[in-house]
Amino acid sequence: MRKTFLQAKVHRVIVTGADPDYEGSLTLDENLMEAAGLLPWQRVEVYNVTRGTRLATYLIPGPRGAGDCCANGAAAHLVRPGDRVIVAAYVDLEDEEARDWQPTIVLVKGTNTEVEVRGGERPFQRATG
């Protein structure tokens, strides 16, 4: 039986833009996508920590190192610049695969260009405090 697990999340990234006239999606700095192991066009869920809204969309890469996180299209009505959001992706795994599974957690610190990566291929450590 396959079950759905967290693949990766970019935790508390700061929204830098919102463009309701764009076709749709979430633009995310390519460095953040790479750190989390996320790919262009991949479906993600966006949890707005500031406003309490949630949405599903797909990723498009933003300029590497620019710190961009821009909600486009309809998402721009639920997310505003300055909001803190969690960008999460999920993966379907068989029970046996899931037993040792560790998601990749990208903790954004200060700006969208300073991060700490946990999990994935690195030893997973739970945050304390």
Q: Is residue 90 annotated as part of the catalytic site, yes or no?
A: no
Question: Do residues 70 and 95 make contact, with C-beta atoms less than 8 angstroms apart?
Answer: no
Catalytic site residue from 22, 25, 47, 90: 25
Q: Which of 22, 47, 58, 90 is catalytic?
A: 58
Angle at alpha carbon of residue 5, lines to 94 and 129, rounded to 5°: 140
Give the span between the Cα atoms of 72 and 96, in whole angstroms.
Answer: 38
Q: How many CA atoms lie within 13 A of 106 on its CB side?
A: 27
Residue 22 annotated in active site: no
To which residue do tokens 């390519």 refer?
Answer: 30
Nearest-angstrom CA–CA distance, 17 and 48: 14
Mind telling me the catalytic residues? 25, 58
